[in-house]
Structure 1
Amino acid sequence: MFLSFFFFFCGLALITQVKVEGCQQPKNVFLLAGQSNMSGRGGNHNDTNNIVKWNGKIPPECASNKNILRLNANETWEEAHEPLHNDIDYLKTCGIGPGMPFANAILAAKDPSLRSIGLVPCAIGGTRIIEWSRGTRLYRRLVDRAKASLTCGGKIRALLWYQGESDTSRHDSKLYKVRLEKFFNDLRHDLNHPNLPIIMVGICSADQGPFMNRIRIVQLNYNDTNVKAVDAMGSTFIADQKHLDTKSQIRVGQKLAAAFLSSFAHPH
C-alpha cells in the first residue's frame, strides 16, 4: 500500500510539473488570423504524383528560438516552429508563413520589453471574411484561443491579419469594407480590448482578377489610428501564382514587425 501511495503522489507531482511547463506565459502575445497566405504555403510544391508537399527548408529568418512560443491546437504553449499552422490549418499542406519571420524580427530589435513572444495561429486557407464574422466557427475559435493565450498572464499586443483573396468577386468585394469593420469591432469588443492594434497585409496575388483592387483600397486606406497596413505588392509566388514563396513570406513578416515596432511597441 505504501508503494501505491508513493506512485500516486509521484504521479500528481508529474502532472503538476507538466501543467506548470505548459503554462509558461509569453509576455507579448500576437494573434495570427486570415487565410492561406497567413498560415503559409512558402516552400510548397507538387511532387511527381501531383501531391502538395512542403520542402522542409527553414531559412534563418524563420528559425525556432526559445523566446518564441506558439499556442498549439491543444491550447498549450510550446516552442514555435515551422510550419507554424501545421496543427491548425491541418486540412492543407502548410509551409513557411509570415509568423516566424515576424517574431524573429521583433527579437532582433533587442527591446528588453519584447524578449518573450507568443504566437497564436488561427488562420485557415480559402476563407472569406464572412466566415470570420461573429458567431461563426472560425470567429469563436479565434476568441477562445485568444482568451486561452492569457490564462497565465501576458497581454495581446496585436492581431496580424492577412486575408481577402477569397473576397475578390464582384459581390464580395463591394461588401468587404463593411464586413471587415464589423469583424474588427466585434473582436475588440469580445476581447475587451477596444484599442487592440491590428496590422493587416494588402493582398497582391497574381491571379485574383479585376476586383482585387477594391480589397486593396479598403486594406491600405483603413481609417483607424490603431490599424496599420503593410503592402505585399512586389511579392513572388510558388507555382500556383496564388501563394507567396518563402522569400516573400519573410519580407511580409518583417514588414509586419517593422509596423508593430514603429507604431505599437510602446503605446503612449
Structure 2
Amino acid sequence: MPFAHAVLAAGIPPRDVIGLVPCAQGATPLANWTRGTELYDRMVTRTKAALADCGDLAGMLWFQGETDAMKREDAELYQSRMEALVRDVRRDLNKPDLPRHRGQSKQFLTSNSVLIVTAQYGGKYLDRVREAQKAVSRSLPNVKYVDAKGLQIASDYTHLTTQAQVQLGRHASKVLPGRTIVFVSN
C-alpha cells in the first residue's frame, strides 16, 4: 500500500483508478510460481478477472526470493526461473511489453516496468538470489530493480515493519518516475 500511496501522491487524473491484484503466498520458492502451477494459474486468473470490466495492466510488482536463498540449487536457478516467469506472464496476459499502458493523456500513466524488489533477509545463498534479481533487470526489457536490503524486519522475523514498508514504497516510486502501476504482487 505505501507504493500505491506514493503513486497517488504523484497525482493521477481524477477519473483514473489504480487497482491492485494481490496474489501473495508467503514462504514459496520461485519454482512454485512457474507456468502451470497452482499459484501461477491463480495469479493469471485473478489478474484477468480484475481486468475483465475495466483497465489495463500497467505493471507487476514481485517481492520474493527469501525461500530461494535457502537452497543452492534454487539460488542458482533463480535468474532463469524469473526470466521465464516474466516472459510467461507477458504471454499469458497478452502483454508482450508488460507493462505498456496506452491511451492515457498524462505521461504519469505510461508504465513500462516489471518491478523486482530484492529479497531482504534469508538463507545462505541470499547474495546469489539478489545478484540474480539484478541480472534479470539487466537482461529483460522493462524490468526494474528496487533494493530492500537493510530495511527493518518486524518482530515476526518475516515481514517488514510498517516504517520499512513506507520506505520501500518510496524507493519503488522513485524507480518509476512518471509511471503508475496496476500490480500483480507476491
Say whether the fold is shared (TM-score over 0.5): yes
Are 1:161 and 2:62 an aligned pair? yes
TM-score (normalizing by structure 2): 0.82
Equivalent position SS for 2:57: strand
Note if contact 1:133-1:139 (Cα within 8 Å) is conserved in structure 2. Answer: yes
Three-state SS of the structure 2 residue aligned to 1:229 is: strand
1:181 equivalenced with 2:69 (yes/no) = no
How far does the alpha carbon of each residue in 1:82-108 deviate from its partner, in whole angstroms, 9 at most, with x for none? Answer: xxxxxxxxxxxxxxxxxx111111110
- Which position in structure 1 is the counterpart of 2:169? 253
After TM superposition, where is structure 1 displaced by more than 3 Å over at least 4 residues in a row?
Answer: 262-265
Structure-1-length-normalised TM-score: 0.58
State whether residues 160 and 200 of structure 1, in contact with CA within 8 Å, keep that contact through their aligned partners in structure 2. yes
| Aligned amino acid, residue 211 of structure 1 | Y
Deviations 1:174-221 (A, max 9, x none): 11111111111111100000111310101111xx23310011011123
* CA displacement, residues 21-78 of structure 1 (integer Å, 9 cap, x when unaligned): xxxxxxxxxxxxxxxxxxxxxxxxxxxxxxxxxxxxxxxxxxxxxxxxxxxxxxxxxx
Please say if residues 7 and 180 of structure 2, whose CA atoms lie closer than 8 Å, have aligned partners that are also in contact: no
- Report 1:48-59 matches (<5 A): none
AA matched with 2:3: F
Q: Return the match for 2:35 from 129, 134, 150.
A: 134
What is the CA–CA distance in structure 2 between the aligned matches of 1:212 and 1:248, rounded to whole Å?
A: 19
The alignment partner of 1:159 has SS state of: strand
CA offset digits 1:104-162 (Å, max 9, x no partner): 11110013278411011101111110110011111111110111111112111000000
CA RMSD of aligned residues (A): 1.8
CA distance in 2, matches of 1:227, 1:132: 18
Q: What pairs with 1:70-219 in structure 2 (closer than 5 Å)?
A: 100-112=1-13, 115-168=16-69, 169-196=71-98, 197-205=113-121, 208-219=122-133
Unaligned runs of 5+ in 1: 1-99
Change (3 A) 1:114 1:108: farther
Query: By how many angstroms is 1:262 displaced?
Result: 4.5
Tell me the CA shift for residue 261 of structure 1: 2.8
* Paired AA for residue 164 in structure 2: S
**Any conservation in 2 of the 1:132–1:138 contact (CA below 8 Å)?**
yes
Distance 1:105 1:151 in 2: 26
Number of residue equivalences: 164
- 2:15 & 2:8 partners in 1: Cα distance? 7
Does residue 229 in structure 1 map to residue 141 in structure 2? Answer: no
CA distance 1:252–1:114, shift in 2 (3 Å): farther
Deviation at 1:263, TM superposition (A): 5.9
Larger Rg: 1
2:157 corresponds to 1:238: no
Structure 1: distance between partners of 2:15 and 2:180: 12
Give the number of the structure whose residues are more often strand, by fraction.
1
Identity of aligned residues (%): 41
Q: Which residue matches 1:60?
A: none
